[in-house]
Every structure is written in structure tokens, then in C-alpha cells.
Amino acid sequence: MYDIRPFQGYDRFVKDNKQLNAISLGETNVVIQKEIETVNIAIKKLEAEIFPEESKKNFYSHLEKANKDLKNQKDVIDKFCIKSARTLKLDDRRLTDPKYNKNYFKNDIPNAQLLDDNEFKTAGDTFQTRKLNTGIKPNLPEIDLQIYLDVTNKILKQSVTPTIVIKELENNPDKQNFAKQGMSIHKRNAGEKCAFCGKPIDDQRWKDLDAYFSKSVDSLENKINSEIALINPAVKKLAQIKLLTPETFYPKFRNQAKDLNKSLNLAIVSMNYVLTTLLRALDKKKKQLFDRTSELEIELPDNLKVVQSGLNNLFEQNNIFNNNLAKEQRKAKNKLLYHLVQEQLNSFNYAEALGKLKQLKIQQKSIKEEFNLMENKYEAFKKKKKDLLKSSKDEAQAAEEINKYLQHLGHASFSLHLIKKSNELSGQYEIIGLDKKKRDISSLSTGERNIVAFLYFVYSLKDTNAIENTNKIIIFDDPMNSNDDSSQYLMITQIQQLCRGLKKTDSLILLTHNIHFYINVKYPFRYKSKKNDDHNRFFHFQTAGHQSFIKAISNSNMDIHTTYDDLWEELYFLYNANKPVMMLNPIRRIITTYIKFNAISANNFYKNIPEAKKYFDVNSHEIDDIEDFEGDPNGKTKGQIIWLMYQVFRANNGEGHFGHHTPDDIMNRLNKKVSEN
């Protein structure tokens, strides 16, 4: 298992805290600060939405508007309810409580309902009525028309058969009846004459008539008379029935009483018609005793039982109502009031206003829920920030160690001073300059940030919590980043100490572009760990365009001797690889080093060859800060570039110096060109 510790610049270990004008020190604090900055952005964004902003609209103002719109609509409805309650209280004092107000009115709204004219009159009459004497319920006679019809038809089917034949009476009902009646008016005296024809009536005649009108005739007559005697009382009973007086009923039942009267009158008339028809048929039968008469076919009406049931129900309801009159009047009063309430609602278009209120409530609820979510997120972010702050480290020991080494920077030294604030991130350090004054963090150079991060990284390698039984691999990826000489030597010393303190199982990998830095770091160490060991410790990476070459350095002869010589070697390596663009970089550095060593100003160096200044005096870099960059030779070949460089050296009496570092074949071509010109 490997414990890999890379150093790739200051970003992981040092970060500006502009709010405190300080730096966050340590990998943990840098990570936490980045998270806090993200959280702060979220908090600030939410604060811009959930807190009042005078100059702009936000979600808070959106909610406020929704609340205001909802309140305004409620106020409109409340004002209507107040006005309506006042109107009802003043106009209909009998229907409203003395304390009737908007709350009473609102409570009545669910029951509000318009009455039709008849319902309104009934409710009004009931509300104003006095207690009535409900009277006695009539009991209608029980008259079974079916029995009367059956008996009558039975009689009609009967006839009397004469025992003798009297020609004058045969097949003549009128004469038969006339003779029957004549028998009752004569006294049967000797020599008595017929009162109708004046002829004398002898004894034989009487005997014949008695035989003709036998006892069977009397029997049938008696049946007829008996049935008539039964029907006549029924007719009389019908005549004695009295209709209801609707005024003796409470208003809500008067229409029902009127309807029952119609039914009762119809029943009386219909039943009376049937009974009268039966009587007429029986009377007619008396005159046709000797003939069979056809049965009556009559559709019988309902008897009085149906009407009696209606009467019973009506009187029962009326009596109940009478017993609960106070309660019924309260109901009637409420109906009237609810009717008036509904009229007020209709005049205001209450349903539309209520619909708008419901819609505003839905909108306000939706906005409020979203606002609450924002508030919850806001509180969650604040808690997260609080938790992050708690998890930060003050890094006091690391800062103390860093300050100890920063003192070695001489006039460029500075120190870290811990900021102690309870509500802020731990591990925040002010920068105190050599003059003991606080420096603005914007004044910190890249090199200064880099040396602080480097020293912190070295300190962190002493971590006592490191995983046991692991092989540590320490990687420095070009640690020299804009550092001056003092910082370079401080880094060199620290890295050399690390190398000496490594366990046999540990490794340190140093990658750098800075040849001077490389030479000084490796100085005390052998090229191989042991004699006759095939494992090299140092390698040289060379590039040509998109291709790279790795050169193992196994002895001092293969190694880079000086930085300046290396630049000339790099120049002609690129020349041979035909990379004119990349040749400009080492040329510029060679010239910068040359004029600096010989105390020649750039203007004087280029004054005789101004074209050379265009190509070689651009973004000059010191030898101690070598880094690749591209130029634009405007189509010049490698030979043209070398010729231009040679010309500027000749103009400054440096052709011998130039020839010392240039391969013979190239110098021969250059000298030939000089002689040709």
C-alpha cells in the first residue's frame, strides 16, 4: 500500500479569504473555505429572495403581493358582509338579532337560499300566525259501492214467472204494473167496477189477478225495497259530509287542505252518482218484475278510505305543527332571513368574489410553500456553514513552523498571524510584513503564496496520523513557481532534508523546469543509490515538438553542467530537430543572460540590428525562471534565425563567444556567408 503525497502548487494549501483579508491555511481549511464560499453564494442568493429589498422585486415581495391581494379580497368581502348585515338589521328587525353583524351574516351564507313566491308567502304567514284551534278531524262514512252494485245486479237479473196467462197483461210491463197498483186501490166489493175502464170486476177476475201476482212477486218487490232502503242512507251520509275549511289550518298546510277538498268533493260526487244510478235501476226494476234486466256496468271510484288517510295525515301534521309552533316559526323566520341573505349575495355577485378569493388563497398558499422551502434551505445552508466552521482547523503549529522558516527570507520575509473570531473559519491568517504592519492579501505574489504552501506541505508530511506500514511517495511537481533566490534556497534545503530523512521504502519524485534549482537540489546525492547499481536517480526530459525523449543521467559527464551551457545545447538540439518556433525561447534567454553578465543595456545591444530586437527582446525571462513559450518567426527558417542571432553578437564584438558555443559546421556556414557579403 502506498501513501502518495503530491505537491502541485499552492492552490491545495493556501486560499485567499477576501472577506477577512487573510489566507486559509491547510488543505482541510482550503477545502472547507471553497465549500463555505459555495454555501455563502447560496445563502446570499436566498437572502436576496427571502428578505425585503427596497430597490428590486424578489420572492419576498412576490409573497407580500400575494398576501396583500388576498387581504384586499378578504376586505372587499368583509365590507360587503358588514354592509349587508347592517341593511338586514335595519330593514328587517323582526328577522335579525339586535347584535346581528358581519359574523352573523357570514354564518348565514351557507344556508342562504331563495324562496319562490308561494314559499315566501307561506313562510311569512307561518312566521306571523297566531296559535289556531285546529278543530276535530272528520271521520268519513264507510260506503262499499261494490256491495251495493253486486246486490243491485243480482236483483236486476231476477224476474217473476206468472202461474196463469192473462192476455191483457202478457208482455206488457206497463199494464202489469198498472194492474198491480189497481189491485191495491180496489176494495173487492160485489159489483165493484174497475176505476180505470168502468167494467164490473167479478170474483174470477180477482182470482186470476191474485194467481198472476203471486207471492214471488211480493218477494222480489221486498228485495228491491230493502236494497233501496239501504242505499238511501248512504246517499244521505254523502250529503252530510262537509268539506274542510283551509283557514283552520296553519299556512303551510292550507294548500294541502284545498287539495284534499278537491279529492273529497270528487269522491262524493262520484259515489253519489253511482248510488243514484243504482236507485234508478231498482226503481225501474219494480216496473219490470216479470222481465230479466241487464246488469249495470259501472267503473267504481275509489272509496273514501284514500281521502280519509289524507285527512288523517293532514290533521296529524297540523297538530304536530301546532304543538311545535314556536319551533316552526323559528324555521320560517330563518327561511325568510336566508332568502334575504341570498338576495344580498346575488346583488353583490358573491359567488364570483368567493371564487376569486379561493383562487388567491391557492396562489398565496403555493407561493408561501415555496417561500417556506427557501427559508428551510436558507436555514439548512446556515447550519451547513456552522458545521463546516466547526470542522475547520486553526493550524497553529503549522503556522509557527512556517513562520520560523519565513524569517530566513531576509528583507522579503513576512509572517502569518492567526485571526481569532468565534464565528469565522479557523486557520485564517493575516499577513504581517517585515515592518510589522498588516499586508493586504492582494499584495502577496505567486511566489510568496507558493513558499507558504510549500512549507505547509513539508510540515504535513510529519503527520502522526499517517497510515502505518505504507510506502510514502512524495511528489514535487515543479515547486519553483515565481520564487526568488531566497525562496529557492529555502526550498532546496527543505527538499534535501526530506531526502535524507526518507525510509528505504519511501520515494521522493521531483519534477522541475528550473535547471539551476535541479543542480542545487541534487548536489549532495550520488547518481545511483549504490555502486554498480543499474537504477538511476536522475533523468533529463527533452522535447521536440510533440515528441519527448527521456535521458537517464548515470554520471556527471552526462549531467547538465551549467544553466547557460544547457541553453546553447537546447538551442542546437532544436536546430537539428528543425523547430524554428521553439528556438526563439532559448535564444531570448541566452541574450538576456549575456547582456546582464556584460552589463549591456538591451537598447544598445540591439541598436545596430533592430530586426533582432523584434524577435529576441520580447517578454524577456531571467535564466532562473525558464519556461516554455512560443514565438512567431514570420516564416523564417532555422538558418535565418541563427544568422540573425549571429549578426547581433558580431555587432557587439561577441562573435568569438558565439563561436565557442556553436558547432563547427554551423560556424563555417555563417563565416562563409559573412565573406560573401
- Alpha carbon distance 499, 465 (integer Å): 21
Higher per-residue confidence, 422 vs 623: 422
Comparing CA positions, the residue from 7, 6, 3, 67 lying closest to residue 451 is: 7
pLDDT of residue 39: 95
Does the pLDDT at position 475 exceed 50?
A: yes
Q: Where along the chain do its domains lie?
A: 2-26+393-525, 28-111+349-391, 145-322, 560-676
pLDDT of residue 422: 65
Does the pLDDT at position 89 exceed 80?
A: yes
Higher per-residue confidence, 550 vs 438: 438
Q: Which of 230-244, 401-415, 421-435, 529-543 has the highest mean pLDDT?
A: 230-244
Q: Find the range with the poorest average confidence among 141-155, 257-271, 567-581.
A: 567-581
Does the pLDDT at position 630 exceed 60?
A: no
Does the pLDDT at position 625 exceed 60?
A: no
Residue 134 Cα distances to 127, 259, 321, 531, 539, angstroms: 17, 18, 10, 139, 128
Comparing CA positions, the residue from 562, 631, 549, 609 lying closest to residue 590 is: 562
The 3-class SS string of 318-343 reads HHHHHHCHHHHHHHHHHHHHHHHHHH
Does the pLDDT at position 472 exceed 80?
A: yes
Does the pLDDT at position 664 exceed 60?
A: yes
Q: Provide mean pLDDT across the span 563-570.
A: 82
Higher per-residue confidence, 240 vs 537: 240
Residue 132 neighbours by CB distance under 10 Å:
15
> Which contiguous run of DSSP H or E holds residue 50?
helix 27-50
Does the pLDDT at position 622 exceed 50?
A: no
Tell me which amino acid residue 372 is. Answer: N
Q: What share of the chain is helix, strand, coil (3-state, %, to 5)?
A: 60, 10, 30
Residue 385 neighbours by CB distance under 10 Å:
19
User: What three-state secondary structure class fits 474?
Assistant: strand
- Alpha carbon distance 471, 101 (integer Å): 88
Give the strands of the sheet with 507-511, arranged side by side: 2-7, 471-477, 507-511
Q: Find the range with the poorest average confidence among 232-241, 258-267, 454-463, 534-543.
A: 534-543
Angle between helices 304-323 and 325-348 (to 10 degrees): 80
Q: Provide mean pLDDT across the span 212-238.
A: 87
pLDDT of residue 56: 84
Residue 577 Cα distances to 115, 470, 551, 666, angstroms: 109, 44, 16, 14
Q: pLDDT (tens digit, 9 = 90+) per residue, 109-166?
A: 999 999 999 999 999 988 988 888 877 889 999 999 999 999 999 999 988 776 666 6
Phi, psi of 119 (to 5 degrees): -65, -40
Decide which of 3.40.50, 3.30.70, 1.10.760, 3.30.110 is the CATH code for 2-26+393-525.
3.40.50
% of the chain residues with pLDDT over 70: 84
pLDDT of residue 169: 62
Q: For the CA atoms of 481, 482, 488, 491, what is the dihedral angle to 10 degrees?
A: -40
- Alpha carbon distance 355, 668 (integer Å): 102
CA atoms within 13 A on the CB side of 258: 7
